[in-house]
Amino acid sequence: MTIKIGNAPCSWGIEFPSDPAYPTWQSVLDQCAGAGYKGIELGPIGYMPEDPKVLAPALAEHDLEIIGGVVFQAFHDPNNWDTLLDAATRTCKALVAHGAQNLVLIDSISARRAPTAGRASEAEQMDKAEWTAFRDRIATIAKMGAEDYGLTVGIHAHAAGFMDFEPELERLLSEVDKKILKICFDTGHHSYAGFDPVAFMDRYIDRISYMHFKDIDPKVKADVVEKRTDFYTACGQGIFCNLGQGDVDFPAVRQRLLDAGFEGWCTVEQDCDPSMPGTPLEDARANREYLQSIGF
């Protein structure tokens, strides 16, 4: 099994390009390497230096490589197109500069969907015209990444956006050519949405190009779903627990990857609130040790 394990800036609470409370990108690289990882995602474009002459030596110093980059933007908002296109283009260029392969597309949190995170039956749905435009924006960025930059592009379902629940993901996959759009499968967000990650892998393993490893505390999930807690507050309450402590069956995930001959990166993404007890470094180490204990 040729699977490499990486981590991502979101495990250090990095969700946006900048915030005074964020740790520096240098410290994130240092801690990621110190926890035993060999790769890291870019994080939101603008967080790490976009000049490869600045970032590449720092990566080499820590024996790290860039795995991929995430375009976490409001694909659901037609007024956000210019910002989305700029972020996607800059991310593609950065990935190519570092020889990385994985471009991940995520529809960011919508006020219309935040109250029903984890509640598929209650979630507001787009009408036909809105869905078509939404799908086409995703397909346009996917086509650009795949054809113009030679990247492997994966759609990533995410709590509180319009690409959240399994039926929405399956609809998109059926309407966009698999040559340009594959799946970045996040085990935790799939569980948060109320679906079985392993069962989904059984059906779609051939289209999964990249994995995000995330676990879900079932008690916190039940509480935040019942109370309609918003996504970031749920993060602060620890919905994304350390790997192996939640409801995702990671030994079964490993077996599905083994059976499929999966090769490439699997990236730990433990979305967190930096103000929570403990430290991201401790969690990163614990997650790496857990994955090693089950054969990764």
* pLDDT tens-digit readout, 56-103: 999 999 999 999 999 999 999 999 999 999 999 999 999 999 999 999
Does residue 259 have a pLDDT over 90? yes
Q: Dihedral angle at the C-alpha atoms of 229, 218, 194, 256, nearest 10 degrees?
A: 140
The Cα 69–Cα 104 span in angstroms is 6
- Burial annotation 6-27 (CB, 10 A radius, 16+ → b, else e): bbbbbbbbbbeeeeeebbebee
Averaged pLDDT of the chain: 95
Structural domain count of the chain: 1
pLDDT at 88 (0 to 100)? 98
Range of the domain at 107: 3-293
Does residue 277 have a pLDDT over 70? no
pTM score, whole prediction: 0.97
Q: Tell me if 220 sits within 8 A of 246, measured CB to CB.
A: no
Q: Tell me if 234 sits within 8 A of 179, measured CB to CB.
A: no
pLDDT digits (tens, 9 = 90+) for 159-183: 999 999 999 999 999 999 999 999 9
Q: Dihedral angle at the C-alpha atoms of 219, 273, 192, 43, nearest 10 degrees?
A: -160
CATH number at residue 43: 3.20.20.150
pLDDT digits (tens, 9 = 90+) for 109-146: 999 998 889 999 999 999 999 999 999 999 999 999 99
pLDDT digits (tens, 9 = 90+) for 46-67: 999 999 999 999 999 999 999 9
pLDDT at 271 (0 to 100)? 84
